[in-house]
Amino acid sequence: MFGGIVINLALPIKSLKLIFAIFAFLNLLRISQCSSTNIKIMDFKEILIQNYKFSTEDWETTIGSYVPATIKANDYFLKFGDISDKLGIVMSGILRTYYTDKNDNDITTDFILSGNVVISNDSFNKQIPSKENIIAIENTELLIISYKNIQELYKKIPAWQLVCKDTADYKNNMLTKRTIQFQTLTATERYKEFCKQYPEVCKKVALKHIASYLGIDIATLSRIRKKK
């Protein structure tokens, strides 16, 4: 158990392999901006071998480093002030990242959906207290790896450092894109773009959290929604 997160050791290893392959494959597709629909999910293993020089042993070691876990709705993956000791791959569910400003306002900074990594980058990588909270909006299934185990994975398979660098570059590009949207799009345009990108969040997440994420007051967002 990691804090309030329940670890499920009963999931068959074949399921773990498929789940991990799906996540990582989709993530690499995002990084490379590949739009082909002809590539099979299980070709992810070949992508690692060809692009990152993974061996079959590297693949098996990677799969064995992750553990399935469950976090219930409104439970925390990480709390402000705690040092992050794990990262997770979201299999199903939604998590929200937020911080509280000096006026005690809840500011949403991200929504993490299935097929994405949940991590507090600075806290995990530098092992320092987190400046944010990460909470499950609904019951969420994850694959998690501890800080200790991922360090061992880096040592055993140095190529994983490059995979993680590519992933970090992708996340930074997305952050840059969001910054540009804040500066160039109207409130209505930001909301429409958000719903296009996160239709599941628009259906399931409280309006106040979406408004906070978009930098729009809730009254304005309510008016925008009524006009749709």
Domains defined along the chain, listed by start: 6-157 (2.60.120.10)
Task: Determine the 3-state secondary structure of 137 from DSSP.
Answer: coil
88 forms beta bridges with 118, 144
Tell which residue, 149, 123, 154, has the closest CA to residue 52: 154
- pLDDT confidence of residue 207: 94
Instruction: Write out the E strands in 41-198.
Output: 67-71, 76-78, 86-92, 95-100, 106-112, 117-118, 133-136, 140-146
- 117-132 tens-digit pLDDT: 888 988 998 999 999 9
Residue segments in the chain with a per-residue pLDDT below the cut of 70: 1-45, 47, 167, 228
CA atoms within 13 A on the CB side of 114: 12
- What pLDDT shows up at residue 182? 78
Distance CA 118, CA 198 (A): 16
The pLDDT assigned to 211 comes to 95
**What was the pLDDT predicted at 106?**
93
- Contacts of 102-107 with CB under 8 Å at 24 or more apart are 105/212, 106/208, 106/209, 106/212, 107/212
Using the 8-state DSSP alphabet, how is residue 41 labeled?
Answer: G
pLDDT recorded at residue 121: 84
Spatial CB neighbours of 126, under 8 Å, sequence gap ≥ 6: none
